[in-house]
């Protein structure tokens, strides 16, 4: 929860994020499910289980729920750059590609 919306500046309210994801999220707490257009809360790894909301299709991340579908375009999680990184991770044996959250 962003401090601008009443979130506390405490470790329990902070999360590690790369600069791209941090800037994309900014102070937003909702995204739109591209299938229904409905606004949904952002996926919270502290409250939700990754594999309930996402799955892999090759190197593409696929949303299984409105929350999962909304987060993928919100954070551009299937950008060409990310797909290339996953392909290279796979070549080196580091691509999770199963039930694990993307790195
Ligand atoms: Zn990121």
pLDDT reading at 100 higher than 70:
no
Q: Work out the percent of the chain whose per-residue pLDDT is above 70.
A: 94
Give 18 Cα–ligand 1 centroid separation in angstroms.
4
pLDDT reading at 68 higher than 60:
yes
Any bridge partners for residue 57, and if so which? 60
CA distances from 86 to 59, 60, 101 (A): 6, 9, 12
Give 78 Cα–ligand 1 centroid separation in angstroms.
11
Tokens of 46: 């502290």
Give 76 Cα–ligand 1 centroid separation in angstroms.
9
The mean predicted confidence, pLDDT, of the chain is: 91
> What predicted TM-score, i.e. pTM, was given to this entire model?
0.85
pLDDT reading at 101 higher than 60:
no
């Amino acid at each position: 929860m962003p401090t601008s919306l009443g979130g506390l500046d405490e470790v329990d309210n902070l999360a590690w994020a790369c600069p791209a994801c941090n800037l994309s999220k900014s102070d937003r707490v909702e995204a739109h499910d591209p299938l229904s257009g409905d606004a949904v809360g952002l996926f919270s790894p502290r409250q939700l289980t990754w594999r309930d909301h996402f799955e892999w299709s090759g190197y593409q991340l696929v949303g299984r729920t409105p929350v999962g579908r909304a987060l993928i375009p919100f954070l551009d999680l299937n950008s060409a750059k990310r797909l290339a990184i996953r392909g290279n991770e796979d070549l080196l044996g580091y691509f999770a590609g199963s039930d694990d959250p993307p790195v």
